[in-house]
């Protein structure tokens, strides 16, 4: 496994093309490994960057306590046939950086985390520029992030192929995330209710769209409110629970049969996000 620690070293083209960049903030879990496997399956050499990006944390967020585990991360990557790793110094990455503004950042996570996606898109752009990958892999759990990166690619990096990896879940359905490390085992089981609620909502919405398509749009608000109440009753503080058009993050208006159910909650002071994209025309889950 090739380990590169500076942009200077990158200028000697250490990674073997075609390679796919998997940007991470470390503290790797099997969700990340899944991104790596997807790159390999699509015939790209996986290159993982590990950089806890200060630009994407708000002043009251967990930048200082964000879990860091570099030695373990490197072992895990090696065991999983990672081709290359880029571990830059903060100072070098941030020097003369071009600050970008993310689109659609007034919605969902962007609304409750002002500046977050500007920080993400600024760093990912920098990583694309210095690493010059042929492809990149992002996970579907961060749905809004995926849309923003696709937009960045369209605007500035058209040659980079975007690969999307499905959300990885634990055996109870909880979406894998580095922030799950803040929860103990029984809290993780409680937190898996989020996915159960999303799945329940999905079934109800699909059924309603089949039996009562005429009133479907007017019923959405009451379904949303009903599930928000149910979730809150279980001790979650709901940041948002929204039913949207997955292409635009605008309110769902039946422009297509695809609907995004997106949720963010605080549970034991940990912010957790999840989503499902459902096809209202299909009867399967
Ligand atoms: O998804 C993440 O871990 C981060 O937002 C990313 C893409 C590595 C940018 O810092």
**Residue 171, in any domain of the structure:** no
Query: What is the domain range of residue 186?
Result: 178-283
Verify that 87 and 186 share a domain, yes or no. Answer: no
Q: CA torsion 127→34→180→186, rounded to 10°?
A: 180
Verify that 267 and 139 share a domain, yes or no. Answer: no
Give pLDDT tens digits along the chain (285 positions): 999 999 999 999 999 999 999 999 999 999 999 999 999 999 999 999 999 999 999 999 999 999 999 999 999 999 999 999 999 999 999 999 999 999 999 999 999 999 999 999 999 999 999 999 999 999 999 999 999 999 999 999 999 999 999 999 999 999 999 999 999 999 999 999 999 999 999 999 999 999 988 899 999 999 999 999 999 999 999 999 999 999 999 999 999 999 999 999 999 999 999 999 999 998 765
Counted domains in the chain: 2
Task: Tell me which residue has tokens 């009753």.
Answer: 233
Verify that 237 and 142 share a domain, yes or no. Answer: no
Q: How far apart are CA 199 and CA 206, in angstroms?
A: 11
**Residue 173, in any domain of the structure:** no
Coil, strand or helix at 246: coil
Verify that 97 and 218 share a domain, yes or no. Answer: no
Answer whether 142 contacts ligand 1 (Cβ < 6 A): yes
Answer whether 56 contacts ligand 1 (Cβ < 6 A): yes
| Residue of 29, 32, 83, 151 marked active site | 32
157 in catalytic set: no
**Residue 161, in any domain of the structure:** yes
Verify that 84 and 217 share a domain, yes or no. Answer: no
Span from the CA of 26 to the centroid of ligand 1 (angstroms): 9
């Amino acid at each position: 496994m090739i380990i590169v620690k500076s942009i200077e070293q990158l200028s000697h083209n250490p990674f073997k093309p075609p390679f796919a960049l998997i940007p991470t903030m470390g503290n790797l879990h099997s969700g990340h490994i899944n991104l790596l496997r997807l790159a390999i399956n699509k015939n790209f050499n996986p290159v993982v960057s590990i950089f806890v990006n200060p630009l994407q944390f708000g002043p009251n967020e967990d930048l200082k306590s964000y879990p860091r585990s570099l030695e373990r991360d490197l072992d895990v990557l090696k065991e999983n046939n990672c081709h290359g790793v880029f571990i830059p110094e903060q100072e070098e990455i941030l020097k003369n950086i071009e600050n970008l503004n993310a689109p659609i950042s007034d919605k969902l996570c962007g609304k409750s985390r002002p500046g977050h996606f500007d920080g993400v898109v600024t760093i990912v752009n920098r990583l694309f520029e210095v690493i010059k990958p042929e492809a990149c892999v992002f996970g579907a759990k961060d749905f809004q992030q995926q849309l923003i990166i696709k937009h960045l690619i369209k605007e500035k990096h058209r040659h980079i192929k975007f690969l999307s990896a499905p959300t990885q879940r634990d055996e109870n359905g909880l979406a894998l995330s580095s922030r799950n490390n803040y929860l103990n085992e029984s809290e993780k089981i409680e937190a898996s209710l989020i996915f159960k609620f999303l799945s329940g909502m999905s079934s109800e919405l699909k059924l309603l769209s089949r039996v009562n398509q005429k009133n479907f749009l007017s019923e959405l608000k009451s379904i949303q409110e009903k599930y928000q109440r149910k979730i809150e009753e279980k001790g979650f503080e709901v940041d948002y629970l929204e039913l949207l058009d997955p292409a635009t993050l605008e309110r769902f208006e039946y422009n297509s049969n695809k609907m995004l159910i997106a949720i963010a909650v605080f549970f034991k002071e940990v912010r957790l996000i999840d989503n499902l994209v459902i096809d209202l025309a299909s009867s399967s889950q």
